[in-house]
Structure 1
Amino acid sequence: MPCNFTHRTLAQDVMGGVREAGGTPMEVNTIAVSDVVTMGSEGMRTSLVSREVIADSIELVARGHMFDALVTIVGCDKTIPAAAMAHARLDIPGVVLYSGPTMPGRFEGAAVTVADVFEAVGANAAGAMSDEALRRLEAVACPGAGACGGQYTANTMAMAMEFLGLSPLGSGSVPALDPRRREVGAEAGRLALAALEHDLTPRRIATRTAFENAITVGAATAGSTNLILHLLAIAHELDVPLDLADFDAISARTPVITNLKPHGTCTAVDLDRAGGTPLVARRLVEAGLVDGEALTVTGRTLWEESDGAVETEGQRVVTDVKNATGPAGTLMVLRGNLAPGGCVVKVPARGRPVHTGPVRVFEREEAAMAAVQAGQIVPGEVVVIRNEGPRGGPGMREMLGVTAALVGRGLLEEVVLLTDGRFSGATRGLMVGHVSPEAADGGPIAALRDGDIVTVDLPGRQVRVELTTERIQARLAEWTPPSPLYPTGVMAKYRALVGSAEHGAVTWTGAL
């Protein structure tokens, strides 16, 4: 997949840096599942499962061969948190190295990314875009190697790794095909040896303070809600106390200071040209929103790493708190009688803060997508897609196909989507995911029926259905969970071991 096309070449640069610093590099590969390739299909169920398989495989080889240090080269969404989870388990010095974003495409004079293609599918179905125009957009949206070019999940997680301290500040924002990438790779190899010399292990770096910094930058850049799922999982591996309430509290005090897609108009490459993540870090340190004394893998503090940030004159990507591009509270946690364990939402840049409407229930993503494309979803409705949680899926599919199709049909501000699945970082609109407990665990979302009235109340941080507790319980008593789609193999194993999205959808024998 395009995210990983440069990895073999980048590995040579990393190994050169290791040799230069006096070490002996050994290249080991693992698997990856493309979210873009699998999106909207049965294959997407494997995406979150791959996070665990990747982490397990890195851990096994590093333990088996007793590596002294580790550089993990990551690209697409799940490889980034998986690498961090493996580093956390092993607790040996090392670097998580992101291979960088793709360049933006150009379509009718504007910069475009893969998200524009997904939204165009809905526009095409609604008759607002011709087949020929859709084909032209598809042909130019992803012009080369690298991860999706907005502040979607990959770039959100790469930035979080820098603020968590596991990646060198500024290493992630360099585009995948930029010639500077070779030196970034070589420096990562040298840095791994320096970290080994000074015993800079993940548990020394990724502290509670570092996690708060990582949450802050996710909120300050209107990043992907997947940040919540993955940071919870990484914190679990490090025994760092972290829960949904922390994300809500930190986001509530953090305004948006970037103009990045999908919240804004700029791409990841624009951020690099503006000054990159060091500029974002400097702004947040100056505002007192992150702790600049937090240690990073370089052995220097976050403030020391960001102090030399170079801002490009006239850039329009990164601002400051006084000129915020969006209010505080972009990443929000809701609770209520539909989600007693919590659910998450990225507050849209515009739209109604409170939505009340009748429910349309779908038992799987494909049924909802068919209804959207057929024009059967009407303004005011609450679209519910259930049995897509970590266990119910299994695998907690992303819903970019459905959400983008809704946007493409002009329903961005007219409907709400509610699911125990999750969303792509490219998703826009009032979309509520990670509903816990999920339907497969007998959560209240399993009790919903067509026509029930549901309210999503952002100011009140509530998601509720107009049913009494007794009525919900009576319906659940009549409810029968669907049969597992995969009775054997890795999917069955995952289903048996995975815990709630509320705790990061981690897998272990005592899963929460």
Structure 2
Amino acid sequence: MEKKINNFSKKITENSDLPAAHAMLYATGLKDLDFHKAQIGIVSNWYEGNPCNMHLNKLSEKVKLESISNDLVGFRINTIGISDGITMGTDGMKYSLPSREIIADSIESVINSHYYDGVIAIPGCDKNIPGVTIAIIRLNRPSIIIYGGSISSGRYKNDKIDIISSFEALGKKNTGKISNEEYKKIIKNSCPGPGACGGMYTANTMAAILETMGIMLPYSSSNPSTSIEKIEECKKSAIYIKKLLKNNIKPKDIITKTSIENGIKLAICLGGSTNLVLHILAIARAADINLDLSDIQKISEKVPFIGNLKPSGKYLMEDIHSIGGLPIIIKYLIKKKLLNGDSLTVTGKTINENLIDVPDINFNNQKIIFPIEKPIKNSGHIRILYGNLSPNGSVAKITGIEGLIFRGKAMVFNSEKEANYAILNNKIIPGIVLVIRYVGPRGAPGMPEMLKPTSYIMGSGLGKNIALITDGRFSGGTHGFVVGHITPEAQVGGMIAFIKNGDFIKIDAERNTIDVELEKSEIEKRKKSWLAPLSKIKKGYLYKYSKLVSSASKGCVTDEF
């Protein structure tokens, strides 16, 4: 007799005291036999207004059809998404990071209240991925995540371009490097169809982490959004979710301290987004795993940077797919003893077992991944900096291309808009440390991601001549000498609130320090004269978020009391 796998749904479907529930399930199209089958919540972040997400309904439809073929009941569910690219540089970006919590809360709510036995989640854009991951950890019932996949590259003058090209084009236009006509052509050709932004930005970074952690099927992070392989992955997911149900393999069996460390190492090797810090801390907290900023720093110090990927490099996720996909990189790093291959995955096998038929990486026919003996940089690009400016930690993305030490005079802005205006009107000079403050999780509120200022700086040709620091955060597409996540943030009286124009700031990525060069007596004097600004928001979701959210150094979670 086959083992029953409808352990949760039977509390409704096999309970004769719930006639109204049964009546409503009949209305959805269920037949009598279906009442004894396992029910799968097929969650997608589909919506039409964002290329990262606009194709996810088609993927969820494939998953539902395969679920039916595998004698399961699949119910498709939608949750929200926020487009980082569209909201970037506007007040709408304040909702991006907070949307991670809405996504997690909404999935938890539906799956728990409807007693579904398992989850197949299909995220697209940046915050979708950690949002669904936090949810399935909380639920801790058999689950698989299918990444919506990366976008194809655009083309302009025989060069590959992507979303970051459009941001940097504005800086080039404003400094006369390209014409308005060229500017328009770059914008029109940057995003040719569906899929998440193509470089090692936040979406691809988090997808690569989750595949390495084992909560996605092999190749999920590198299968392009419109590929045949992505469709095949959707079909396989129904087979594997049934296997997980039969063996009662749950997310907390897969997401462990070891698998999280594997994910961080892989992302740092590839030059992943600094946003991984916020999301990994939040994921670890959901799984009751002890992880803090110091753990991430220790990993980054030991792991080489070997990925020649945008934004600091040349290539895109589609190029990783072309050389054999992420598994060939994972296999290589296991062989080099950087990753642990014994972790369990959603196939029911270990990473090592999944990799048996995966070929070895060939360093002679590609320039995307470097050998660890000849890395781009001997240690990771993510640096956790401490000092009088950030006693609770801050996050820097230093590839070494922009140097390792920067000292300059502060030029202070109390909003991103003020900073963008100054950059676009050529008011920034070499040697300056731009300070953008009151944009943290409580101060903004929402800790908006900033790509405009760094893209404008790079497009203007100042990337190697200035630094930018903030209590906010940067897009995964950011490159240059930048430090974000400064804690405590300005809104709660962190040192960044007391900086004045002309103060000297030193950032040292060798010693991992960030300091403003002021006497303690002067610092105390400024503290005493400082008054916390009133909250910018008086009601609504962002107001609630600002009251609940933890520090960036703890992952900006909203359930830490």
TM over 0.5, yes or no? Answer: yes
- Comparing 378-387 with 474-483, which one deviates more in the overlay? 474-483
Alignment of 1:27-426 (within 5 A): 27-310=76-359, 311=361, 314-426=365-477
Alignment correspondent of 1:442? 493
Deviation (angstroms), 1:351? 2.2
Matched residue type, 1:434: H
Is residue 544 of structure 2 the alignment partner of residue 503 of structure 1?
no
Find the aligned partners of 2:236 and 2:520 in 1 and give their Cα distance: 58
Q: 1:271 to 1:505 in 2, by over 3 A?
A: same
Q: Aligned to 1:3, what secondary structure does the other structure show?
A: coil
Partner of 1:14, secondary structure, is helix
Offset, 1:290 = 0.8
Q: Give the Å deviation of 1:218.
A: 1.0
The superposition leaves residues 217-252 of structure 1 with CA deviations (integer Å, 9 ceiling, x where unpaired) of 110000000001100001011110000011111111
How far residue 468 of structure 1 moved from its aligned partner, in angstroms, is: 2.4
Cα distance between partner residues in 2 of 1:342 and 1:258: 26
Distance in 2 separating the partners of 1:203 and 1:331? 27
Bigger relative CO (Cα 8 Å, ≥ 6 apart): 1
Give the Cα–Cα distance (whole angstroms) in 1 for the partners of residues 390 and 431 of structure 2.
Answer: 21
| Post-superposition CA distance 1:366-385 (Å, at most 9, x none) | 00000000000100000000
Separation in 1 of the partners of 2:374 and 2:62?
40
What is the deviation of 1:186?
1.2
C-alpha distance in structure 1 between counterparts of 2:168 and 2:429, whole Å: 18
Q: Are 1:15 and 2:64 counterparts? A: yes
- Contact 2:470–2:484 (Cα < 8 Å) also in 1: yes
CA distance in 1 between counterparts of 2:403 and 2:370 reads 26
- Mean alpha-carbon deviation: is it higher for 472-481 or for 360-369? 472-481
Distance in 1 between residues matched to 2:428 and 2:191, nearest whole Å: 30
SS in 2 for 1:502: helix
SS in 2 for 1:4: coil
2:486 partner letter: V
CA distance in 1, matches of 2:490, 2:343: 40
Identity %: 38
The superposition leaves residues 391-410 of structure 1 with CA deviations (integer Å, 9 ceiling, x where unpaired) of 11111111100000000111
1:379 counterpart letter in structure 2: P
8 Å CA contact retained: 1:274, 1:316: no
Q: Per the alignment, in what secondary structure is the counterpart of residue 26 of structure 1?
A: strand
Matched with 1:476 is 527
Whether the aligned pair in 1 keeps the contact of 2:498 and 2:523 (CA below 8 Å) is: yes
Contact 1:362 1:368 in 2 (8 A): yes
Using the TM superposition, give the Cα deviation of residue 11 of structure 1 relative to its aligned residue in structure 2, in angstroms: 0.4
Code of the residue aligned with 1:138 in structure 2: it is: I
Residue by residue, what CA displacement relative to the aligned partner does 1:289-348 show, whole Å, maximum 9, x if unpaired? 111111111111112223322457723222331232332121110000000000011113
Separation of aligned partners in 2, 1:27 and 1:423 = 33
Please give the secondary structure, in 2, of the residue aligned with 1:9.
helix
Structure 2: which 5+ runs fail to align? 1-49
294-303 or 447-456, larger mean C-alpha shift: 294-303
Going from structure 1 to structure 2, the CA distance change for 1:213 and 1:509 (only over 3 Å counts) comes to closer
SS at match of 1:99: coil
In the TM superposition, what is the alpha-carbon distance from 1:111 to its structure 2 partner? 0.7
Q: How far is 1:509 from its partner?
A: 5.7
Distance 2:379 2:109 in 1: 41
- Report if aligned partners of 1:279, 1:318 keep a CA contact under 8 Å in 2: no
Contact 1:263–1:349 (Cα < 8 Å) also in 2: no
Normalising to structure 1: TM-score of the pair?
A: 0.98
The CA deviation string for residues 425-451 of structure 1, in whole angstroms up to 9 with x for no partner, is 110101100001111111110110111
Q: CA deviation at 1:263?
A: 2.4
Instruction: Please state how far the C-alpha of 1:143 moved relative to its aligned partner.
Output: 0.4
Q: What amino acid sits opposite 1:465 in the alignment?
A: V
What CA distance in whole angstroms lies between the structure 1 residues aligned with 2:247 and 2:429? 60
Kindly provide the CA deviation profile for residues 73-130 of structure 1, in whole angstroms up to 9, marking residues without a partner as x.
0000000000000011101111111010000011111111101111111111111111
Contact 1:40 1:365 in 2 (8 A): yes
Distance between the aligned counterparts of 1:174 and 1:349, measured in 2?
30
Query: Residues of 2 paired with 1:474 and 1:495: CA distance?
Result: 28
One-letter amino acid of the counterpart of residue 109, structure 2: L
Contact 2:380–2:399 at 8 Å: present in 1 too?
no
Deviations 1:258-311 (A, max 9, x none): 221112111110110111110110111011111111111111111222332245
- CA distance in 2 between counterparts of 1:154 and 1:190 reads 26
Worse overlay, 159-168 or 321-330: 321-330
Equivalent residue letter for 1:183: E
Deviation at 1:257, TM superposition (A): 2.2
Contact 2:217 2:233 in 1 (8 A): no
The separation in 1 between residues aligned to 2:355 and 2:197, in whole angstroms, is: 25
Single out whichever of 304-313 and 244-253 deviates more from structure 2.
304-313
Distance in structure 2 (CA, Å) of the matches to 1:478 and 1:169: 56
* Aligned-pair CA distance for 1:349: 4.2
Give distance in 2, aligned partners of 1:235 and 1:197.
26
| Structure 2 contact 269–380 (Cα < 8 Å) conserved | no
Question: Which amino acid is the alignment partner of residue 350 of structure 2?
Answer: T
The answer on whether the counterparts of 1:104 and 1:113 sit within 8 Å (CA) in structure 2 is yes
SS in 2 for 1:384: strand
Provide TM-score, normalisation by structure 2. Answer: 0.89
Which amino acid is 2:415 matched to?
R
Matched AA of 1:324: P
Distance 1:297 1:114 in 2: 32
Distance in 2, Cα, partners of 1:185 & 1:18: 10
Helix, strand or coil: the match of 2:468? Answer: strand
Counterpart amino acid of residue 97 in structure 2: L
- Please tell me whether the aligned partners of residues 282 and 307 of structure 1 are also in contact (alpha carbons under 8 angstroms): no
The letter for the 2-side match of 1:277 is: L
